[in-house]
Every structure is written in C-alpha cells, then in structure tokens.
Amino acid sequence: MIRVVWGWASRIVGWVLKVQLTRYLKKNPQVMIVGVTGSVGKTTTKLAIAKVLEQRFKVLAHPGNYNSETGVPLAIFELESPGSVFNVRGWMAVVREMNRRLKRPLPYEVIVQELGAGRRGDIRYFSFLKPRIGVVTAAKPAHLKGFGSIEAIVDEKFSLAEISQLALVNAEEERFAPKLATMDASKLHTYGTSKGEYRYSIRSYSAADGFEGTLVLGAERVDASARMVGRHMAEAVAAAAAVGALLGMTPDEIKAGVERIQPVAGRMSPLEGLNGSLILDDSYNASPEAMMASLDTLYERPGRKIAILGGMNELGSDGEKYYRQIGGHCARLDLLVTVAKLATQYVEPARAAGLGDDKVRCFDTPYEAGEFVAGLLKQGDTVLVKGSQGGIFCEEATAKLLANPADTARLVRQSPDWMRQKAHAFSHKRQST
C-alpha cells in the first residue's frame, strides 16, 4: 500500500515539475539542450561536454546526477530536492520558486543535461525537451532488473538519438551497431577513440598522468592532453570534443576545453591517501563492465593493489554470472575487501581464480572496511573504491583513507540529506567514527 501511495505521489510531483519546465523552455526558445544518456559515463560525459562548451557559450550543467523525471526540472531550474515526495510543504516551496524564476530569462545558451532510465519509456518521457543533440554513451547490463534484457536497454538508451535533432552515438559500443546501420544518416554522428567520425586518438596513456593524443574533428586535427584516470575516460573526451565541433567551435577552443576537463567526484577521482598511498575513488556506482574497467586501471598502477568493493545492484537474474566474472578478475589483487552482503559473492570466484584466503576480508559497513584498510596503507599503495550506491555507500570507506580530511568535500553524497540516509541505513550496525 505504501509503495502504491508513493508511486502516485511521485507521479503527481513529476507532472507538476514537467509543466513548470515546459513553460520555462517555451519562454526561452533560444537555449539549446544537449541530452546525455547511457548505462555508464553520463555524468562524466556531461561535465566534460560542459567544460568544452564553456570556452564559447554560457553553459548550465548540474554537477550531480539529477536525471529523473523530478531531477531534470530541478537541475534546469537550479534547485535542490526537498527530499521525500511526501514533503508537501517542501515541494510547494519549490514550485513557488520556479514561478519566480519563470519571470526571468534563462541566463544560458546551452544546457547539458543527463537523462536516466531504469525502465522502458523513461527516455522518451523527456521528448518535450526537444534536444538539439542527443549523446548516447553506452548500453551495459545495468538496471537489468527493471528492463529484463540487454536488448531492452539498448533500445531505451538509443531512443535519445531518435528523439533528438542531431544524434551523437558512441561508435565503440558494439551493441549500437545494428541501430547505427538503419538510422537517418543526415542526423547521425559518431564518436570514439578508434572508431567514429569524431575521435580522441590516444598516443600515450598512464594511470598517473592521463592521456596524450590527437582530437580528430572531421577534417581538422589538434593535439590535446587530458588529465583523466582510466582508459575508458577517453570516450568522454571524444564526446565532448564532438559536441563542440557540432556546435561550431574551433579546434583551438575545443582543445582548450579538453585540457580543462577534471575528474568527477566518485568517478575514478584520484585522491591523496594516508602514508603516501593513492585512492582511486570510483564510489559513485557500479555495473559489471564499469567494474572490470576500474579494476584494469588499478592493475596498471605500480605497488600494492587493494580493492574495496561493494555489490552491484539491480542485475536481476543474471547477477550470479556477473559476480563470478568480477570475482575472477580480482585474482591479481594484493587485497580484496568487500562491503555488505552482496559483495561477498566476489569471494569464492576470486579464491577459485587463485586469490589466497589471507588476501580477502569482508565487512558489513563501509566504515569498517575503510578503517581496516587505513591501518594497512603504506607508501606506493593504490586503493580502488567502488560499489553501487543503494544501501552500500562506499564513499564512506574512501573518507577513512584520506590524507587530508578536507578532501571529504570531493566525495559523492555528502549533502545533509544523504548523510541522514546513511545514518539511517547503518543505524542497526555498530559504526566507528
């Protein structure tokens, strides 16, 4: 019964916010919207695009992941959520503030907005935004429980390309290939690192210094460096450069923007750890292919390699297969530390692949996991922290490892509302502080 009431309340709030946002966009028809979707990489790609576009345009890009039917209007109105959909007074205050802002013009030329999808139809819901460019990053086995199949995920993510005036699709994602072959060529553009009309061709990469390479922008080419950690981050650079080119920016403007791109909180963000260690904070979320890519980045580092891993939520009936895959890939670690019950599924596959019992520890909370690893860190260690967000919150393990406590401001989910949720989630378990 509670779930039904919550569903109705959520729909009512979403409908009211959609009406407000539709009014806002109609009053500001000059503003171009760049939509970004995909199973992975939405926020990183969004912020990379914004950094490039800022070299010419006035740009709005919400720093967080406000990508739902309630989050998108809040992001574009630059407002924060009052929390629960049952907070009637809070939502009334939001609507009143929206009405005030409707009286003023939108002070931006471009809005870069990520769009999330957990079930069929979520992306087409946003067709009222009429995106000038729709950027599609990937289709991976995330939210499988809501979609039922990887094919449904492909269809849903690609639908942004179909509802946008121009489509920019990741050519490295092989699951999109059949759809690329049938799409209207006059509106379709592709990007990637080795494939695509727009590319970031990599000459060199190191986990310490990032990328050196050449931006291929149609007939134009320009060298550019990108200080990003993780080979998979180069695709976000290529997407950002492509959007800049499609909106008429010069190669020099695009290069300047690319070289200003910074790691995003909770997405392979390098942080100084205790005793001269390095923390790769990838704690925002987790899906199987992203987990594999993050572990591969860890393996490129010298010194001891430690992974603090939470579970991967919403994998549905295929979950066991993916936990076996990731667990087997953990065999090269010097220490595997798991957080909460789901993540214990990595352990047996890791042992079967050769990881010794002395290299595995399991904890109920991220606080315990972080404190354990903090007591072991030494010069030259690298720690990867990654897990899904729902009920796991691995960023709190990261917080225990930081050399500079002020760097907690660079972690995800540190707002008062999130901290209340975490306190509630772990209230029944003993926490160390």
Ordered DSSP codes for 97-157: HHHHHTTS----SEEEEE---SSTTTTGGGGGG--SEEEE----SSSHHHHSSHHHHHHHH
CA–CA dist 295, 309 (Å, integer) = 10
What pLDDT does 209 receive?
86
Determine phi and psi for 107, rounding to 5 degrees.
Answer: -85, 35
For residues 55 and 171, state if they share a domain.
Answer: yes
Q: Could you give phi then psi for residue 411, rounded to 5 degrees?
A: -95, 160
Would you tell me how many other CB atoms lie within 10 Å of the CB of residue 352?
Answer: 12
pLDDT tens by residue, 295-306: 999 999 999 999
Q: CB within 8 A of 141, min separation 6: which ones?
A: 39, 150, 153, 287, 288, 289, 315, 318, 322
Residue 433: inside a domain: no
Using the 3D structure, point to which of 258, 277, 293 is the last residue of a domain.
258
Residue 185's pLDDT band (cuts 50, 70, 90): very high
CATH number at residue 186: 3.40.1190.10
Percentage of the chain exceeding pLDDT 70? 97
Last residue of a domain, one of 258, 285, 318: 258
Q: How far apart are CA 96 and CA 89, in angstroms?
A: 11
Report the percentage of the chain scoring pLDDT > 90: 83
Q: How far apart are CA 239 and CA 365, in angstroms?
A: 37
pLDDT reported for residue 248:
98
Is the same domain home to 274 and 322? yes
Q: What distance in Å separates the CA atoms of residue 378 and residue 327, rounded to the nearest whole number?
A: 25
How do residues 271-280 score in pLDDT, each as one tens digit?
A: 999 999 999 9
What is residue 232's predicted lDDT score, i.e. its pLDDT? 85
Domain span at residue 40 reads: 9-258
126 and 201 both lie in a single domain: yes
Query: Is it the case that residue 433 has pLDDT exceeding 50?
Result: no
Distances (CA, A) of 28 to 102, 104, 301: 10, 10, 48
Cα gap 125→209, rounded to integer Å: 40
Backbone φ and ψ of 424, nearest 5°: -70, -40
Angle at 43 between CA 220 and CA 109, to 5 degrees: 60
Q: Give the side-chain half-sphere CA count within 13 A for 321.
A: 7
pLDDT in tens, 244-267: 999 999 999 999 999 999 999 999
Total domains in the fold of the chain: 2
Residue 280 sits in the same domain as residue 254: no
Banded model confidence at residue 314, pLDDT cuts 50, 70, 90: confident
Q: How far is CA 426 from CA 57, 245, 339, 361, 393, in A?
A: 44, 47, 12, 19, 10
**378 part of a folded domain:** yes
Does a structural domain hold residue 431? no
User: Mean pLDDT across the stretch 44-57?
Assistant: 97
Q: How confident is the model at residue 432 (pLDDT cuts 50, 70, 90)?
A: very low
Query: Residue 98 domain-assigned?
Result: yes
Q: Are residues 208 and 281 in the same domain?
A: no
Q: What is the pTM of this model?
A: 0.88
Both 158 and 275 in a single domain? no
Kind of pairing between the strands at 32-37 and 110-114: parallel
pLDDT of amino acid 132: 98
Give mean pLDDT, residues 193-203: 97
Q: Is residue 432 part of a domain?
A: no
Whether residue 244 is found in the same domain as residue 290: no
Same domain, 237 and 357: no
pLDDT of amino acid 429: 63
Specify the range with the lowest mean pLDDT, choosing from 59-68, 95-104, 416-425: 416-425
Q: Is residue 430 part of a domain?
A: no
- Residue 409 and residue 328 share a domain: yes
- Shared domain check, 176 and 55: yes
pLDDT, average across residues 167-180: 96
Q: Could you tell me the CATH number of the domain that includes residue 279?
A: 3.90.190.20
Taking only the tens place, the pLDDT of each residue in 382-395 is: 999 999 987 899 99
* 147 and 229 assigned to the same domain: yes
- Number of residues that make up the chain: 433
Checking if the pLDDT of 431 tops 50, the result is no
Q: Provide the H-helix boundaries in 259-354.
A: 288-299, 319-329, 340-343, 347-352
* pLDDT for residue 415 is more than 90: no
Looking at the fold, whether 327 and 204 belong to one and the same domain comes out as no
The residue to which tokens 């494939």 are assigned: 195
State residue 428's pLDDT score. 67
Among 215, 234, 258, the domain boundary falls at: 258
- Of 49-58, 224-233, 247-256, 402-411, least confident by mean pLDDT is 224-233
Arithmetic mean of pLDDT over the chain? 94
Query: Does residue 2 belong to any structural domain of this protein?
Result: no
Mean pLDDT, rounded, for 94-102: 98
Give me the mean pLDDT over the 422-430 stretch: 76
Residue 264 within a domain: no
